Structure 1
Amino acid sequence: MQQTTDSQQYYQQTCNQQMDCPVFSGEKSVDLCIIGGGLTGVSSAYHGAKAGLDCLLLEAEQIGFGASGRNGGQVSPGQRLDQASLEAKVGKAQAHKLWQLALDSVDLVRDLIDKHQIPCDFTPGILHTAFKPSHAREMQENVQLLQKDYSYQDCRYIEQDELKTMLASPRYYGGELDMRAGHLHPLNFTLGLARAAQQAGAMLCENSKVLDIQSVGDKIKITTADGIVTANKLVLGCNGYLGKLFPKVAGKIMPINNFIVTTKPLGEQQARALIRDNVAVADSKFVINYFRMTPDHRLLFGGGENYSSRFPADIRNFVRPYMLEIFPQLEDTELEHGWGGTLAITMNRMPHFQCVDERIYVAQGYSGHGVALATLAGKLINQAIAGQPEGFNTMASYPTPTFPGGTLLRYPALVAGMLYYSLRDRFGS
């Protein structure tokens, strides 16, 4: 997929850490090989090395190059589906287990930041806003369910009148505020965790694209342009960048492109006038808008997607209409940065966890919910390797259908589906 130049990418310009990672060459045997230098990969390397495994991570570009270093930075409890939907699908007992894992994922991010003093501007609070009146009713029911049946008191429902005092937008009908959630600088968090993985003993290699994966006896052979790795276990943490590397699981996900802009610095007074309490915001549209303030008082706003191999020629003007729908008062505000990245979604928007042939662990398709869940994935994978697979199996037990037509026909089907949901966003109640 096309990528945005660093000069257009706010996170690159405000990155506070540098990695020192060689290109992999030669031959090496390891306990655990990890493909992908995003949060799934670096968390797998960190937890594997902490458990005493000889770990090698191979990244085709640079650590944090993909969605892990480009996203909206929101760290949210819960799965991509609400708990009522999960209960209807898998039953209350399993839904409670999925909820607990989602809580664990947020707590893990916060614990790692504290333990390793990762400077990534973590700030508490996410406000989920209702784009339609029916969404507000669903949010109110969700908060009631969480408070009553899950003993979760860190969230509360926000009526429309109160919401207007918190968020200077005329577009929303209510919301739910979660203060256990938060937001951060995702690239700095990814790099900080990668450095912790190195300090724990993992070897991280950049510019080391994997060309082939083969099972050879009870081992896995991983081939790059400059070397060969033989591993006992393998983690596929490629997500939206998997391509054709491992066809067995490629049809479970759909790579899509998402886009973000930042305004010029607005100053603290205007920033607080837009988002009073400095929480992150994500709305209930099917193709969501998500936004927050940066430490230097810029509005960072994500909106719009496409499904091709090319990004829009002018990302700032591509995202601007989505931003102005929410904040029309910013019509004359300059946008300084605009960038895109590729993430992966699944058909049901729940992440895809799978162990293939008892040796290859896959975690992908976070569907925009990946900062916390991808970090947790690395821990769950290593627990499974160590003979404690309960958490990984809970995530893997949720069925992930293959896109109709696999990788060949998934794009036309997705575009048709997204058109349907965009019309529902526009005209539904």
Structure 2
Amino acid sequence: MFSDDYREAPSWLDDLGPFTAVAGDLPESTDVLVIGSGYTGLSAALQTARGGRKTVVIDSADMGHGCSTRNGGQISTSIKPTLQALTKMVGAEKARAVRQEGVNALNWIEDFIRTEEIDCDFKRAGRFHAAHTPGHYEALARSAEQVKKDEGIDSIIVPRSEQRRELGTDSYFGGVVYTRHASVHPAKYHRGMLGKVAEAGAILVPHCAATGLVEEADGVRVITAKGEIRARDVVVATNGYTTNLTPWLKRRIIPIGSYIIATEELPRELVDELFPTDRIASDTCRVVYYYRASPDRKRIVFGGRVSADEVDPRISGPLLHKDMVRIFPQLQDVRISRSWLGTVAYSFDELAHIGSRGRIHYAMSYCGSGVSMASYLGMRTGQKILGLAEGKTGFDGMLFPTRPFYTGNPWFLPWVVSWYRWRDQQECRKALGTRG
């Protein structure tokens, strides 16, 4: 099952050496303190540092140790609720503004990567979203047509008879290609951002966990593992790694482990068979799977939720392998070279959120679609701190909901995942029986 060079680490890090920027000492004060060095924190820091504010970025571990270097490198338009569902929630005008932010975020990250000349294998390859039952295919096709009509989001409907031109499998019942979705090497992208933040003059302090926040008249006093620091403004950019440092935010975040494997190196012709268009892929299962060829097209990177409870990568790896082989029987004898996990964050309304409470600013809860949205809302957070009008977003003013008695421990998650997984399995069995 495991290759000779198997490691429990993201395959993305194989391509990178150590970050060479010298870690700084924690100063006694700063204009802006950013807690968290993922996409959100670095985007905010880049804005404030370039805007002339003394900026410090701290992290409890290595810079970017969380999901910013552990995700699947897939970039969509990020907004999960449909326009119709959002309209019922917040009204037509606000719903369109929120949905548009998904498109804005995707366009922004492309412009940012190109303008900053970050070498991270960014590509507008498109996404093939596959239907795991005939009923889901019909619903996907209807939804794609509606979204194209209402929001101008381009897509291509692919019936099962033409599925092999998109994906080398017969396990699905057709799907939809979202032509503007993109892929990226997530760790290279993060490393590029980290370099830009260092160049802008921000102080980077890894292994410096924040353990306390004390709001004062002229700012915030932050207690850390390396001493105290006073900041005029603080950015909490912790997403799925949010702790009791900010209980109000922790009560609104649902942390969820997302698991990924990378195969050993494969023959090029096999990768070409499985991913002939080099698109990223996902499916309509409630417990979703997402997968792609690596940027060098030597491996398959396959991710998803594999169990009701959080598990060790050595346990999750074989479970993911089993699901991968169910979709791609051609990979039956292929071994796992890397297995890892990261923690994403959901919210109870399935929306990202940005805002502030006094001098403490936040952006988080990207609901599994955070590569572009985390970067984008981090950037907008930095602009808000600078007092720039362009910092305004469609998410401004949105309530950030929680539930009674919820404290940040998603005790209900195993039950929900088990129920969803059971329903997915029943639907797949019924569909396969119908297919004969």
**TM score, norm. by length of structure 2:** 0.90
Q: Does 1:200 align with 2:200?
A: yes
- State the match for 2:415 in structure 1: 416
The letter for the 1-side match of 2:357 is V
1:16–1:188 Cα contact (<8 Å) kept: no
Q: 1:296-336: per-residue Cα shift (whole Å, max 9, x none)?
A: 42111002245656524433213112212211221111111
Q: After TM superposition, give the deviation of residue 266 of structure 1 in Å.
A: 1.5
- State the match for 1:356 in structure 2: 357
Q: Does 1:325 align with 2:341?
A: no
Relative distance call for 1:15 and 1:307 in structure 2 (3 A) is farther
Q: After TM superposition, give the deviation of residue 251 of structure 1 in Å.
A: 1.0
Stretches of structure 2 lacking an aligned partner (at least 5 in a row): 1-5, 432-436
Aligned-partner Cα distance in 2 for 1:391–1:159: 42
Aligned-partner Cα distance in 2 for 1:116–1:399: 34
Q: 1:162-221: per-residue Cα shift (whole Å, max 9, x none)?
A: 223211222222322123211111111011011111222222221111111110113111
1:93-172 correspondence runs (5 A): 93-124=93-124, 125-153=126-154, 155-172=155-172
- Give the 3-state SS of the residue equivalent to 2:179 in structure 1: strand
Stretches of structure 1 lacking an aligned partner (at least 5 in a row): none
- Give the 3-state SS of the residue equivalent to 2:305 in structure 1: strand
Aligned-partner Cα distance in 1 for 2:314–2:273: 32
Aligned-partner Cα distance in 2 for 1:184–1:401: 31
Aligned-partner Cα distance in 2 for 1:16–1:46: 22
- State the match for 2:338 in structure 1: 337
Relative distance call for 1:364 and 1:306 in structure 2 (3 A) is farther
The runs of at least 4 consecutive aligned structure 1 residues that moved more than 4 Å come to: 305-310, 388-393
- Give the 3-state SS of the residue equivalent to 2:410 in structure 1: helix
Aligned-partner Cα distance in 2 for 1:289–1:47: 34
Q: After TM superposition, give the deviation of residue 426 of structure 1 in Å.
A: 2.0
Q: After TM superposition, give the deviation of residue 92 of structure 1 in Å.
A: 2.7
Q: 1:132-166: per-residue Cα shift (whole Å, max 9, x none)?
A: 3332223222322232222333x222222222321
Q: What is the aligned residue count?
A: 421
Q: After TM superposition, give the deviation of residue 99 of structure 1 in Å.
A: 2.2
The letter for the 2-side match of 1:426 is Q
- Give the 3-state SS of the residue equivalent to 2:181 in structure 1: strand
The letter for the 2-side match of 1:138 is A
Which piece of structure 1 moves more, 85-94 or 173-182?
A: 85-94
- State the match for 1:72 in structure 2: 72
The letter for the 2-side match of 1:169 is T
Which piece of structure 1 moves more, 113-122 or 138-147?
A: 138-147
- Give the 3-state SS of the residue equivalent to 1:411 in structure 2: coil
Aligned-partner Cα distance in 2 for 1:343–1:82: 21
Q: After TM superposition, give the deviation of residue 389 of structure 1 in Å.
A: 6.3
Q: 1:379-406: per-residue Cα shift (whole Å, max 9, x none)?
A: 2112322335676552144443214421
1:212-231 correspondence runs (5 A): 212-231=212-231
Give the share of equivalent positions with the same residue, in percent: 27
Q: Does 1:293 align with 2:293?
A: yes
CA RMSD between the two structures: 2.2
